[in-house]
Chains A and B, each alone.
Chain A
Amino acid sequence: MEVRRPTIEDWDNPGDLVTINIGPSHPAMHGTLRVIAQTDGETIVSAEPEIGYLHRGVEKLGEHLTYHQFIPITDRLNYCSAIANNVSYEMAVEKLMGIKVPEKAQVIRMIMMELARIADHIVCIGILGVDLGAFTPFFYLFIQREEIYEIFEWYNGARLTNTFGRIGGVEADLPEDFEERWRKLLPNLKKAIDETDKLLTHNRIWMDRTIGVTAFSPEDALSWGFTGPCLRACGVKRDLRKDEPYCFYDQVDFEIPVGKHGDVFDRYIVRMIEMEESIKIIDQAIKIYKEFPPDAPLMAKVPKIIKPPVGEVYSAIEAPNGELGFWIKSDGSDKPYRIKIRPPCYMVYQAFPELVQGEMIADLIACLSSLNIIAGELDR
């Protein structure tokens, strides 16, 4: 049945249905998303998301900055895990130029990316909890996130927007006390994850709120272009870290958690397990890292002014949210001719009307939080 999508004109003649405008200034809409929902009582008949409230013209800006200058801009795409964006972009440019990154730099990138993944999932799960009324796990998790930030800060001096790495490598070696910090953080992080698990996972209220809510079939998910945890929650075992390995992901041992129904609960569980897997990866990566001599190269030899040859490449990595890709077209000058970012949550969010149809208003919020829509990369 084709349902007419609501528009803003429905405000004036709503008929039997109530049109509710949710956002952009709504506590659960992360400040920048907007959903116009038609509701029958509390049930959503149809919902239409509107995006673009954080469209900052990143792609256009990229055409006016040099390759190097664009790195800080990528920080501001998915700001929950800036490092993954940085690395994705750098890998795209490196691919375009045919640079092979020194292995030690790759290990450092891997460690940092996994830390960023944990930080990202912490935000997602914490916000999911807050949006469902459970505030406390958010605080428990954020304490640990703060510690992860501290690691970032001691690495290169910024907490959130790290501007990590350079084209051709990384800008610094891991600090000497990195492992010490990590060891200090590890038990607390595990404890925080465990406490969240205790507070939420088996709580019937939580289960009622999440299980079966906005379930999605794998076929639909693939057709809509889902990637990352949302796709894995639907039961498709796909992870670029395993399927198209980069860095050292083919040399570390980790599992890919897969859900069954693609509902909010599965997304939550997949993220929870992924955090634990990331911890495993970091532990192994630190072992690999230690095998390198302290003065092993961290940067490939790149010219001072980066001028890739004419061409176009697409390179993607598994960001915390899914496949984050950069398509770069170069015209041989020091500025990219066109940068196209393929943000993971863009694809996920466009399936939103289908996801929430027939659910209740409260589920809309739960669904939105569990998809982990980051406006920065959604609108670019």
Chain B
Amino acid sequence: MAKPVVKKKYTLTERVYLIEIIKGLGLTFKHFVFNVKASFRPGPHTVPTCWQYPEDRREIAPIFRGAHMLMLDDQGRIKCVGCGMCAKACPAQCITVKRGKVAEGEESKYVGKTYPEEFVVDLTRCIFCGFCEEACPKGAIVLGPEYELAQYTREECQLTKEGLLANYYKAKEEGKLKPPKKPVPVAASAEPVAKKAAAAKKAAPKKVEAQGAEAKGDAKEAKAKEAEAKKAEKEQKSEG
């Protein structure tokens, strides 16, 4: 229970407050001069570490997970078939999808035979994890680059089908559509690719290289298998 008593041992420079304080003052002064100089530069981005948001925006990653959008394919057809996989995968249960049959004469609008009659994303609930995007077999729902989402009412935060499509058009116009995601190489079998044995540790780099080469072969197989698996899955889903 007794607390250890710590004896303070200061060097002379530490004992006299001023020396270290003056050093610190020097440091802050350097920053001050640098920033004052920088703040007279033209344009909104003056001080290099400060982004003046509305005028001068920080570059966001092309894969940034912002507001959702419903994707269209090259011919302008809605990719979504309304299967509801995204709603199932969503941890926050913020997606409501109602599937409807495509009426006759409207086939040119939709990719599949069914379409999302109603598609609502409750942005106030959404946690932007990106699981809907991963779950979607058609690549129809994508988290877009939009991050200015503030609204005055809760109702405005419900992203309906129109809103989702509007997000798509906006992103397309600005050229901010996500680049296609690279497939993740999957290990060929459930067995460990390379065991991290004690022997491996000794000659780590070499061994790693060897394993890497080994893995290369596996990876190709894996890709092929993955593609197959995906196909099968998609078929299953579109059926279901």
Residue positions of A touching B, CB distance < 8 A: 65, 68-73, 75, 99-100, 102-104, 136, 143, 150, 153-154, 156-158, 161, 163, 169-173, 195, 198-199, 202-205, 207-208, 211-212, 214-217, 220, 250-251, 261-263, 287-288, 291-293, 295-301, 304, 354, 358
Contacts and interface: CB of A to CB of B under 8 A. Distances in A.
Contact of B187 (A156, A163, A301): A301
A158 B208 contact: no
Nearest to A71: B129
A292 B212 contact: yes
A154 B130 CA distance: 14
Given A153-B64, A202-B13, A293 B215 contact: yes
A173 B184 CA distance: 8
Given A169-B184, A169-B186, A293-B212, 4 more contacts: A204-B16, A205-B17, A217-B2, A292-B212
Contact of B27 (A70, A198, A205, A358): A198
B211 A300 contact: no
B14 A207 contact: yes
A136 B31 CA distance: 11
A354 B1 contact: yes
Contacts of A287: 205
B190 interface: yes
A287 B212 CA distance: 14
A154 B61 contact: yes
A304 B233 contact: yes
B20 A203 contact: yes
Contact of B127 (A72, A263, A292): A72
Contacts of A251: 201, 204
Contacts of A204: 10, 14-17, 20
Interface residues of B, number: 67
B154 interface: no
A346 B15 CA distance: 37
B151 to A, nearest CB: 21
B126 to A, nearest CB: 11
Contact of A172 (B5, B184, B187, B204): B184
Contact of B4 (A136, A205, A217, A299): A217
B57 interface: no
Interface of A: prevailing SS: loop
Nearest to A300: B187
Contacts of B8: 207-208, 211-212
Interface of B: 1-8, 10, 13-17, 20-21, 23-24, 27-28, 49, 60-61, 63-65, 89-91, 127-131, 134, 143, 181-182, 184-196, 201, 204-205, 208-209, 211-213, 215-216, 218-220, 222-223, 233
A205 B25 CA distance: 14
Contact of A199 (B27, B191, B218, B223): B27
B212 A69 contact: no
Nearest to B60: A153
A158 B5 CA distance: 45
A301 B65 contact: no
A75 B92 CA distance: 14
Contact of B63 (A72, A156, A354): A156
20 contacts: A72-B129, A102-B187, A102-B193, A103-B211, A153-B61, A153-B64, A158-B130, A199-B27, A203-B21, A205-B17, A212-B7, A217-B4, A287-B205, A291-B209, A296-B212, A297-B186, A297-B193, A298-B185, A301-B186, A301-B189
Contacts of B190: 99, 300-301
Nearest to B193: A102
Contacts of B211: 103
Contacts of B64: 153, 157-158
A215 B186 contact: no
